[in-house]
Amino acid sequence: MKELKVKETQKNNMKRFSEQFKKKSETLRLSVSEKRELRERVVSYMEYHPLPVKDTNFNNESAGDAVIEFNFAQFKSWPSWRILKTAGALVVVLAVGVSFWAEKAVPGDTLYAVKVGFNEEMRSTLARGSYEKVVWETQRLNRRIAEARQLADEGRLTVEVEVEVADAVRVHSENARKEIENLKLTDKDEATMASIELETALDVQTTSLKNRDDSGLVGQSTALIQTVLGQSQAIGLSSAEDDTLPALDKLVAKVESETTRAYELLEGVKKTATAEERRDIKRRLDDIERKITKSKAYSEEDNSLSSRQSLVEVLQQTHRLIVFMTNIDVRESVTVEEIVPVTLTLEERIDIVKKQTSETTTLIEMVDEKLNATSSDLIDKDVLAKVEVGFEQSSSSLAKTLDLIVVEPLDIETVEGYSLDAYNLIFDTAALLNIRNSIPETELDDIEEESGTSTEEVLPKDGEVSTSTKATTTAVELDV
Amino acid sequence: MPSPKKTIDAAESQEERFLKAFEEYSDALFRHAAIRISNRERSIDVVHDTFTKVWSYIRSGHEIDSYRSFLYKVLNNLIIDEYRKQKEQSLDALLEVEGVDEGSFPELSENSVEALAATLDGRKAFELLKELPEEYREVIIFRFVDGLGPKEIADLIEESENVVSVRIHRALKSLRIKIEEGNERAESKRNTKK
C-alpha cells in the first residue's frame, strides 16, 4: 500500500517535471512572420519542384476531366497565403478586365461609371499640355456622341440620357475651348491647330447626326445633342475670328504627323471598311498629298500665305478623315464625300468640262431642232423669249468654253465657269420646251453630281459659280 | 488498375498531407532545433531544409507513413551535420559520453527514468540543458520536449531502446548534479553575503 503511494507520488513528480520542462521549452517558438516566411519558402520549393504528373493511367476519354480535377485539387492543397496571392492577382486581372469591358459601356450600363469616372479620368490625368488635353476632350466628346448614337439606334435613348449626353458634350467642348484659350496665351499656332481639331470633330459629328436623323431609318432623334453641337460650333466661329494662320514650319510638322496617323488608320480600318470606303479614303489621302505638294510649290515661290492656307485646309481634311476612320458609327451615317469632298485633279476637271460641253452641245442641238420643228405660234410668247435668250447665251458660253480650254496656260476655273453656265442655261431652256425627258436620266445625274462636286470644292468663294450651282438645283427641282 | 481519379487523389493527398504535416510539426521541429543549435536563424534554416528534403523524398516516389518520426529523423541528421560544421563539441563532453559503456546497464528501465525525473525541477533542468553533452541533450529533448517514447527515439538515433534509456537516465543524473551544484553555489553565495 505504502509502496503504491510512493509510486504515485513519484509519477506525479515525474509529470510535474515533464510539464515544467515542456512549458519552459515552449517559450521557444516561431513568430507568426517567421512561420509565414518559412511556409512561403517551403511552398515555393514545392512549386519549383512539383510532383511528377502521373499520367500513365490516364486514358484519352477522361484526360480532359482529369486535368480539371487535378487543377482543382491543387487549389485545395494551396496554403492560405498562396490563395491570397492568387486572389490578389485575380483582383488585378478583374480590375483590368472590368476597365476593359467598361470601354464598351453606354449610359445606363453598370460599367458606364467605370468608363467615364475611372478609365477616362485616368487618361485625362495622362494628357500633358494643353494641346493634348484638347485632343483628349475632343475624343471624349466623340465617345459621348457615339454612345448616344448607339442608344438611339437601339431605341434606348431616353430624354434623361440624351440630356446627360448633351451636357457631357457641352462640358467636353467647353473644356477643350478653355484649353485652347490657355494655349492662345502661350502659343497661338498650337491654339489654332488645336481648334482645328475640335471644330472638325464638331462639324463631322453634326453632319453625321443630322444625316442619321434625316434618313429616319433607324432609332430615335438626337436633336438635343445636335443643338448643343451647333451652339458649340457657333462659339467656335465667333472665337475663330482672331485666329491667325500658324507658322509654316509648325503646320508642316503637324500635317506630317497627322497624315502619318491617317495612313496608319487606313491600314487599321482595312478589315472593317468596305473596299469602296477604302478606295474613297485613299482617294482623299491622295488629294491631300497633292495639296501638300501644291503648298510646297507656293512656299518655294515665297507665297507663304497661300502655302499656309493650303496646309490649314490639309489639316482640316486630314482631321475629318481621321474622325471618319476612327468612328465606325460615323462611317455608317455619312459617306466620306460628305465629310471630305473629293478634290479633283486638273485632268479630271478637264474631263468633266469636256463631258459637260458635249452634253451642252447635244442639248443645244435638241433645242434648235425643236425650235425649227415647232411653229412659233404654238409656243407661249414669254416662254419663247426666254428660250431664245437661253439658247443664245448658252451657245455663247459654250463657244467661250471651247475657245479657252485649248489656251495655255489653262485657266481651268474660268473654263469650268463658262461650261457650267452653258450647261445650266440650255438645261433650263430645254426644260421649258419639255425636252428633258429624252435625255437618259442616269447620264444627267452623273453630270449633276460631278458638277456639283466640282463647284463646291474647287471654287468655294466664287460667287458666280455658287449661283450656277443653285441654278442646277433649281433646274432639278423644276423638273421634279 | 487504379482509376485516373484515384491517381489524382493520391497526388492531391500527398501535397495536402505534406502541408498538413508542415502546419502540425514545423513549430515543434523548430523548438527542437532551437534548443539544440541555440541559433534562431540556423534553426529555421534547418527546419526548412528538413521539409525540402522530405518533399524531395516524396517526389522521388516514396511514400511516408508517419510524418512525425520521418521529419524528426531528417531534422536530427541535419542537426548532426550542423554540429559537424560547427565542430563546437567539447572534448570533455565527448569523453563524458563515450567513456562509459551504456550497454552495461541493462537494469535501467523507464521506471528508473521516471524516478529520477521526479526528483528534478523541470524549469532548472531546462535552463541547464545547454551544459549537457550533445548526445544527452538530444535524448532529453526528444523525450521531454518532443514527447517521444524510448522506442521512437531509438529508431531515430539508430540506437537500441536500452541505450536510449541509459542515456536519458544519465542525462537526468547529470542534470541533477548540475542543479545541486547550482543550489550549492547559491547557498554559499547567500552564506558569504550573510
Each residue's pLDDT tens digit, A416-447: 999 998 998 888 888 888 775 445 444 444 44
CA dist., res. A372 & res. A212, Å (int): 50
User: What percentage of chain A has pLDDT greater than the value 90?
Assistant: 1
More confident residue, A76 or A63: A76
CA dist., res. A213 & res. A222, Å (int): 7
CA dist., res. A59 & res. A292, Å (int): 69
Ranked by mean pLDDT, the top range of A13-22, A205-214, B167-176 is: B167-176
pLDDT value of position A455? 39
Nearest CB partner across the interface for A76, out of B10, B12, B52: B12
pLDDT value of position B159? 87
Nearest CB partner across the interface for A79, out of B19, B120, B147: B19
pTM for this predicted structure: 0.46
pLDDT value of position B49? 92
Widest Cα–Cα separation across chain A: 163
pLDDT value of position B176? 86
CA dist., res. A368 & res. A388, Å (int): 10
**Is the pLDDT reported for residue A171 higher than 70?**
yes
pLDDT value of position A278? 83
Ranked by mean pLDDT, the top range of A166-175, A467-476, B2-11 is: A166-175
Q: Which has the minimum average pLDDT: A46-50, A202-206, A316-320, A468-472?
A: A468-472
Nearest CB partner across the interface for A21, out of B18, B26, B144: B144
- pLDDT band for A143, please (50, 70, 90 cuts): confident
Exposed e or buried b per residue across A31-55, where buried means at least 16 C-beta atoms within 10 angstroms of its C-beta: eeebbeebbebbbeebeeeebeeee
Mean pLDDT of A383-409: 86
* CB neighbourhood size of B5 (10 A): 14
Size of chain A in residues: 480
More confident residue, A61 or A15: A15
Each residue's pLDDT tens digit, A263-279: 888 888 777 778 888 88
**Is the pLDDT reported for residue A463 higher than 50?**
no
Interface test with A, best of B14, B16, B140, B144 (most A CBs within 10 A): B144
Query: Does the beta carbon of B56 lie under 8 angstroms from any beta carbon of chain A?
Result: yes
- pLDDT band for A181, please (50, 70, 90 cuts): confident
Size of chain B in residues: 194
Cβ–Cβ of B1/A23 closer than 8 Å? no
pLDDT value of position A106? 77
pLDDT value of position A478? 39
Cβ neighbours of A73 in B, within 8 Å: 8-9, 11-12, 15
- pLDDT band for A475, please (50, 70, 90 cuts): very low
CA dist., res. B74 & res. B47, Å (int): 9
**Is the pLDDT reported for residue B91 higher than 80?**
no
Query: Does the beta carbon of A25 lie under 8 angstroms from any beta carbon of chain B?
Result: yes
pLDDT value of position A242? 57
The alpha helices in A187-222, defined as continuous H runs, are 188-215
Each residue's pLDDT tens digit, A216-265: 655 677 778 888 888 888 877 776 655 678 888 888 888 888 888 888 88
Nearest CB partner across the interface for A49, out of B3, B55, B123: B55
pLDDT value of position B28? 92
pLDDT value of position A377? 72
CA dist., res. B136 & res. B144, Å (int): 12
Chain B CA closest to residue A56 = B4
Helix/strand/coil for A221: coil
3-class SS string, B27-83: HHHHHHHHHHHCCHHHHHHHHHHHHHHHHHHHHCCCCCCCHHHHHHHHHHHHHHHHH
pLDDT value of position A210? 81
**Listed residue (A352, A414, A365, A416) closest to A391, CA to CA:** A365
Each residue's pLDDT tens digit, A187-228: 888 888 888 888 888 888 888 888 777 776 556 777 788 888
Cβ–Cβ of B145/A29 closer than 8 Å? no
pLDDT value of position A68? 43
pLDDT value of position A476? 39
Nearest CB partner across the interface for A10, out of B30, B59, B118: B118
Chain B residues 1-20 with a CB less than 8 Å from chain A: 1-5, 7-12, 14-16, 18-19
pLDDT value of position B108? 53
Nearest-Cα distance to chain A for B166, in Å, is 17
Chain B residues 93-132 with a CB less than 8 Å from chain A: 114-115, 117-123, 125-127
**Is the pLDDT reported for residue B182 higher than 60?**
yes
Each residue's pLDDT tens digit, A294-338: 888 888 888 888 888 888 888 888 988 888 887 777 777 777 787
Widest Cα–Cα separation across chain B: 84
- pLDDT band for A471, please (50, 70, 90 cuts): very low
Each residue's pLDDT tens digit, A112-123: 877 887 778 777
More confident residue, A81 or A160: A160
pLDDT value of position A469? 40
Per-residue cell: B69: 518520426
Per-residue cell: A59: 486514358
Each residue's pLDDT tens digit, B148-167: 888 889 988 888 888 898 88
- pLDDT band for A108, please (50, 70, 90 cuts): confident
